[in-house]
Amino acid sequence: MPIHNADIAVIFEEIADLLEIESANVFRVRAYRNAARTLQELGKDVRAMAENDEDLTRLPGIGDDLAAKIREIVETGHCAMLDKLHKQLPSTITELLKIPGLGPKRVRALYHELDIHTMEQLQRAVRDHRIQALPGFGEKTEIHIADALAVHAGSSSRFKLAVAAQYAEPLATWLRTIPGVHQVVIAGSYRRARETVGDIDILITAMADSPVMARFCSYDEIAEVLSHGPTRSSVVLKCKLQVDVRAVSPESYGAALHYFTGSKAHNIAIRRLGQERGLKINEYGVFKGQARIAGETEESVYQAVGLPFIPPELREDRGEIEAARHGYLPKLIELSDLKGDLHAHSRASDGHDTLKKMAQAAQQHGFEYLAITEHSSRLTIARGLDSVQLTKQMDEIDRINEQLQGITLLKGIEVDILEDGSLDLPDWVLGKLDLVVGAIHSHFGLSRARQTERILKAMDHPHFTLLAHPSGRLIAKREPYDVDMLRIIRKAKERGCYLELNATPDRLDLLDTYCQAAKDAGVLISINSDAHSVLDFDNLRFGVGQARRGWLEKQNVLNTRSLQELRPLLNRTMS
């Protein structure tokens, strides 16, 4: 079975979990977590690199030992180290780490003191009130675990968009090679650029004698075939992602694509518009009585109800139909509109490449500028810079800019916003920078009022430019901190500063609804990669997808400006 980057990342994450439960060296644990993150977000196919005998140690955070393990996994599908750890600890124990409030130390205590290593055992222990008797737990913790278990039980398994892409896009490419296949498109929430997807819907058109369904059901990554028919087959991949493939006739292709792209609420609203005109709209077409009058293209479906084409990312029944009816649908931003990136890291902090290599990679993506924004000194885990180190980097950027042609490095910092709202570095050094990116990396559990006031105070700082990953969420790992985002948006408008849409697949932060609120308030958004290596600029496509869901147009995005247009916008905040 072909091994995807995400498959190797899962193995490394499990190794890190088991090592942490066993109190292994913190740096060793971190190495596996960083490698897993690199692989989940990497645009290049590591399996192909290994098979082509490329040097895997050139990847961020991958040394000789991890490179050897990647080759082992690619060649065998297994990792001997993980097998060894499974002999020491039950493989099911890592599931407990998915429960909020159960970190490795508590999981270790539950295992050693109560022999708990499955969700079912944990549920019984909560029911029998055995957990509160353990040192370091107590009644409140037991109640919290009970609540978290209930939420976990009711949640469905979803895949982050970038992870789903690692499985869906190669499958779609493979389907296109099957004889008789004409069109292949990934529909559903994937096409709408939702930050997570529950399953994958693929539509195809093909000749009647095409073996596409039989070939699909023999795909070597399938764990289970749920159904197999001439026009529809459904499978579950070994990664547990369900994939449905539907073959439709060319005259129904547009109607089927519209139907299976969704959202459900959007489709219902379109069908109602059709009913008002005496039309029936379904996945087979648009019908007037028994006659099919449209459906070959999506455009024809919308034309039948008097609307222009509505981009997939907007189809959530959040005003897009009214906007289409009155002619004010946005002309959504495209990836090619970006002129630069205002949040990136180099080897000086927790990045993996030199300033010059980062600049060259950004230029290859068509950028005019790249802001280098290392972490500030408070974030010691990321080797943050103090004032002296930052000053030296500014001098280095000046020297490199003299050598570069066609791209400019901007001097910045990702400065920690401290608990009281002050910034982690003094004014004398912040005032020398082209931009100051403020970020929260601690005290996520403050009350809504305190967290909001903390950020508002930081934004009042005379050198504050941009609020990074504004909600602090990590998809499926950490909930957003409690903050009044509408007050933050109003403050950005008042202060003349900006908000970031962080394109890191784990973040995709701002939320799409807040992007739209910022647009309505006249606050510019910067779509940034938060790149920690030359490979991370590829993730900007996911950030642009989120921006499109938030109705953003080219003029609503700060870094669609040329460098000449950008500098005055940065300077107005540095006063």
pLDDT score recorded for residue 94: 81
Instruction: Report the number of distinct structural domains present in the chain.
Output: 4
12 assigned to some structural domain: yes
Are 556 and 425 part of one and the same domain? yes
Choose one of 154, 175, 199: the last residue of a domain: 154
DSSP string, 262-322: --HHHHHHHHHHHHHTT-EEETTEEEETTEEEE-SSHHHHHHHTT-----GGGTTTSSHHH
What is the four-CA torsion angle of 256, 257, 258, 262, rounded to 10 degrees? 110
What does the pLDDT read at residue 80?
92
Note whether 458 and 563 are same-domain residues.
Answer: yes
466 domain-assigned:
yes
pLDDT of 37 > 90? The answer is: no
pLDDT tens, position by position, 364-402: 999 999 999 999 988 777 789 999 999 999 999 999 999
234 plus 261 within the same structural domain: no
Q: What is the pLDDT of residue 154?
A: 57
pLDDT 10s digits, 264-282:
999 999 999 999 999 999 9
Is the pLDDT at 202 greater than 90? The verdict is yes
pLDDT value of residue 22: 85
Residue 330 forms part of a structural domain? no
**Same domain flag for 339 and 321:** no
What order of strands is seen across the sheet that includes strand 369-375? 340-344, 369-375, 408-416, 435-439, 466-467, 498-502, 525-528
Strands (E) located in 450-489: 466-467
Phi, psi of 429 (to 5 degrees): -90, -35
Instruction: Please report, for the domain that includes residue 195, its CATH number.
Output: 3.30.460.10
Q: Is a pLDDT exceeding 80 seen at residue 574?
A: no
CATH number of 116's domain = 1.10.150.110
d(CA 430, CA 463): 6
- DSSP letter for 100, please: T
Q: Which residues of 6-37 are buried (b: 16+ CB within 10 A; e: fewer)?
A: bbbbbbbbbbbbbbbbeebeeeebebbbbbbb
CA distance 101 to 555: 42
DSSP state of 251: G
> Residue 484 falls within a domain, yes or no?
yes
Residues 488 and 357 grouped into a single domain: yes
Q: Mean per-residue pLDDT for 227-236?
A: 94
Asked whether residue 378 falls in the same domain as residue 492, the answer is yes
Q: 196 and 302, same structural domain?
A: no
Mark whether 53 and 172 lie in a shared domain.
no
| Single residue among 90, 122, 154 that ends a domain in this structure | 154
Do 298 and 185 share a structural domain? no
Q: What is the CA radius of gyration of the chain?
A: 25
Same domain, 312 and 418: no
373 - beta bridge partners? Answer: 412
Banded model confidence at residue 112, pLDDT cuts 50, 70, 90: confident
pLDDT in tens, 397-420: 999 999 999 999 999 999 999 999
> Does 143 fall in a domain?
yes
Half-sphere exposure of 226 (CA within 13 A, CB side): 13
Judge if 30 and 79 occupy the same domain: yes
Residue where a domain stops, chosen among 247, 265, 284: 247
Range of the domain at 200: 159-247
CA distance 429 to 423: 12
CA 169 – CA 199 distance, rounded (Å): 13
| pLDDT above 70 (res 560) | yes
Is the predicted pLDDT of residue 156 greater than 80, yes or no? no
- For residue 321, being part of any structural domain is answered with yes
Task: Identify the three-state secondary structure at position 420.
Answer: coil
- Based on the fold, state whether residues 290 and 405 are members of the same structural domain: no
Tell whether 99 is covered by a domain: yes
Residue 555, number of CB atoms within 10 A of its CB: 13
